[in-house]
Structure 1
Amino acid sequence: MLTLFTNRFQAYQPPQGVPVRITLGAPRFKLPYALTHSVRELAPHRDYLSRPEPEFAEAYRADLDQLGSARIAERLQQIAQAEGDHRLVLLCFEDLAKPAMWCHRRVFAAWWKEATGDEVRELSPMEGDGPYRQETLM
């Protein structure tokens, strides 16, 4: 069993589950928790990182399609088994409570839901207090 959540580095709390970095770079600020796991395969590539949201989402989703949900699940399951916790929290930098902010962790969440049927809940506050712009991320 695997239960996935998303959050930002600064809002993560250890009782939420196992923190997993899904960014190209690690935080350059001190974290109040150990960040021992990283899944670089889920980080967006530099070549489309600064593109507008629709272009970014299309390119990132194409990368996810190429990896496939089974391969991603296998990688995440390895972390869950090593930690003895089925709850993984995929972390990046963006503060989704800020107006018009978006990020790859929610693009991943929408893609994962389509690919597996499993919901990936955001744990930090989001603008509008509901599903964050998922209609634009699908």
Structure 2
Amino acid sequence: MLTLFTNRYQAYQPPQGVPVRITLGAPRFKLPYSLTHAVRELAPRRDYLSWPEPEFTKAYRASLDRLGPAWIAGRLKAIAAVENDHRLVLLCFEDLSKPDLWCHRRTFASWWKDSTGDEVRELSPMADQYEQGTLM
């Protein structure tokens, strides 16, 4: 079993599940928790980070398609097995409570839902809504 959530580094809290870095770089600020795991393949490539959202989304989703849901699930399930916790929280930097912000973690969540049928809920406040995730 695998239960995925997304959040930002600054809003994550250990009871939410296992933190997993999905950014190219690690946070350069002190975290109040250990960040042991990273799946760098889920980070967007540097060459399209500055692209407008539609072009970024197309390129990022194509990158996820090349990896495929089975490969990604395998990587994530390996982390869940090591930690003995099916709840993984995929982390990046963006504060989605600010209007007009978007980020790759939510693009991943949308792609994952399209690919597997499984929801990936955001645990931090979002500008247009608040998605409350479960801690079970």
- 1: CA distance between counterparts of 2:54 and 2:83? 35
Alignment RMSD (CA, Å): 0.8
Report the TM-score, using the length of structure 2 for normalisation. Answer: 0.95
Aligned to 1:16: 16
Tell me the alpha carbon deviations over residues 106-128 of structure 1, each in whole angstroms, 9 at most, x when there is no partner: 00000000000000000000011
Aligned to 1:136: none
Call closer, same or farther: CA 1:65–1:125 in 2, change over 3 Å.
Answer: same
Aligned to 2:85: 85
- 2: CA distance between counterparts of 1:126 and 1:57? 19
- 2: CA distance between counterparts of 1:49 and 1:129? 25
Q: Which has the larger share of helix?
A: 1
Report the TM-score, using the length of structure 1 for normalisation. Answer: 0.94
Unaligned runs of 5+ residues in structure 2 are 132-136
Superposed structure 1 runs of 4+ greater than 4 Å apart: none
Whether 1:76 and 2:110 are equivalent positions in the alignment is: no
Identity of aligned residues (%): 78
Amino acid at match of 2:117: G
- 2: CA distance between counterparts of 1:19 and 1:9? 9
Unaligned runs of 5+ residues in structure 1 are 132-138
Aligned to 2:114: 114
How far the C-alpha of 1:130 sits from its partner, in A, is: 5.1
